[in-house]
Amino acid sequence: MRIAIVHYHLQTGGVTRVIEHACAALLGRGEQVAVLAGEPPQAPLPAGATVAVLPGLAYEERRDALSPDQLARAMASAARDALGGPPDVWHLHNHCLGKNTVLPGAVLRLAREGERLLLQPHDFAEDGRPALYGRLREQLADGNVGRLSALLYPLAPQIHYATLTARDRGLLAGAGVPAAQLHALPNAVAVGLPDPGASAPAAAPQAGIDGRRLWLYPTRAIRRKNLGEFLLWATLAGEQDRFAVTQAPQNPQEQPIYQRWVALARELGLPMTFAAGARADFGALVAASHALVTTSVAEGFGLAFLEPWLMGRPLVGRDLTEITADFTAAGVRLPGLYHRLDVPLAWLDARRLRAAFDVAAAKRAAAYGRPAADTAAQAWHSAVRDGHIDFGRLDEPAQMQVIRQLRADPTARTALCPPSLDAAPATAAIGENRSVIEREYSVVGFGARLAAVYASVAGAEASATFGAADGSALLGEFLAPERLSLLRT
């Protein structure tokens, strides 16, 4: 089978890692694979995978000025040249995210020519990305959501969809994608350390590099990663504890807030290291860590909940149940996670916060072209419970206020729920979870699932009749009041 995989870029991590796993698995099964991207790879793909660079696939700010038809022709030509013939299946990642406004039209053109397509959204413009969604709505559909739906979520027998999670599968099914054309395709998970053959005791948590316990947050510290919550735990650290986040944000728009956190940590003398990955080898940091931490308020697939166990470390921090439900159903145990971090509302200016929810709800509705509705009250009531509010729903000024309160009076931690991170992770769980993850999320297993999906797509009868999923219904799900966080405005 000839497979053409398409993405905007091949920068390390994220979707590129998924593409790497797909290439390795498919080539191991004897398939031909070509990868089309807007930029050359930062690191080599598995041997045997052909790469074609098409600048028209790059992000909007950097792409060549092509029409959708021109891009579709360029893609078809490059795929034929790389594969020695037309692809049996096109596998397109994040075509509907809005990073490139001509790609959705090119995808639709390929489908109208009878090409078999697998569309895999890892992220959605409808989910906390109003600038991208607004660009798509205005530039491609003149503000008409129905027209945009026909472009972003076309329906025909030769078009199938793959999702990372059961949540996303349910959302697309609810929007009208037929079950026969909708596939669950969770990512493969594979990391290089420690040695998979290591015993559980050898992978037990260690003392940090300077002799203290290292709580490591392996992430790029963008807003949705909720860095303030990580600093809250650093504020409550014992003498033996040290905290570190591995990467600073690259987006210039993220820098001002990030630098405010750096300044606050310095001002309060918190045991905190920023951008630790720029100063030490990542493997050494993991090996020196007591536990890995996540405080993120939103994720796509959720690799952060699986990779720590493969690296021989337990995971503690914030749970995202609509993401982790898939993992726990597969047998992964996540006892070190909490669903909310409740702090007393009395510590904060409740009137200002309530007004901030009003503003955020109105801003979100306007950004997505939705009628202003009283979602702010519903969002507020989902955030507040028994005189407490979830720390992850606060904005940065409120989070900083809580941190200052706790720095001034550490005994006030008794008012938090939970009052501390899980300080005694079970070493035995590391080996048990690693076994489950290696069985359920292996590259080999991913390849088998992928091949089965491709066979279904390749065998589809092409039709000249097209429908569309209900993009308005999908948007409504992502704009549900309980999803409103001031960190995502």
- pLDDT score, position 209: 53
Percentage of the chain with pLDDT > 90?
82
- pLDDT score, position 200: 36
Residues 68 and 108 in one domain: yes
Asked, for residue 70, whether it belongs to a domain, the answer is yes
Say if pTM beats, i.e. exceeds, 0.85.
Answer: yes
For residues 352 and 365, give the distance between their C-alpha atoms in angstroms, rounded to a whole number: 20
pLDDT in tens, 15-42: 988 999 999 999 999 999 999 999 999 8
Work out how many domains the chain is built from and give that number: 3
| Sequence letter at residue 375 | T
Range of the domain at 245: 190-336+421-440
Judged by DSSP in three states, 355 sits in helix
Grade residue 202 by pLDDT with cuts at 50, 70 and 90: very low
**Cis omega (within 30 of 0) for bond into 410:** no
Residues 350 and 395 in one domain: yes
Residues 139 and 42 in one domain: yes
For residues 353 and 8, give the distance between their C-alpha atoms in angstroms, rounded to a whole number: 38
Tell me what the pLDDT averaged over the chain comes to.
Answer: 91
Confirm if 324 and 334 have CB atoms less than 8 A apart: yes
Q: Where are the beta strands (DSSP E) in 193-314?
A: 213-220, 241-247, 272-273, 289-294
Residue 248 belongs to domain with CATH number: 3.40.50.2000
- pLDDT score, position 42: 85
DSSP state of 127: T
Residues 282 and 267 in one domain: yes
Which of 162-176, 194-208, 209-223, 373-387 has the largest mean confidence? Answer: 162-176
Residues 232 and 273 in one domain: yes
Compute the radius of gyration of the chain from its Cα atoms.
Answer: 23
**Cis omega (within 30 of 0) for bond into 194:** yes
For residues 161 and 183, give the distance between their C-alpha atoms in angstroms, rounded to a whole number: 6
Which of 260-264, 278-282, 296-300, 373-377 has the largest mean confidence? Answer: 260-264
- pLDDT score, position 329: 96
- pLDDT score, position 428: 81
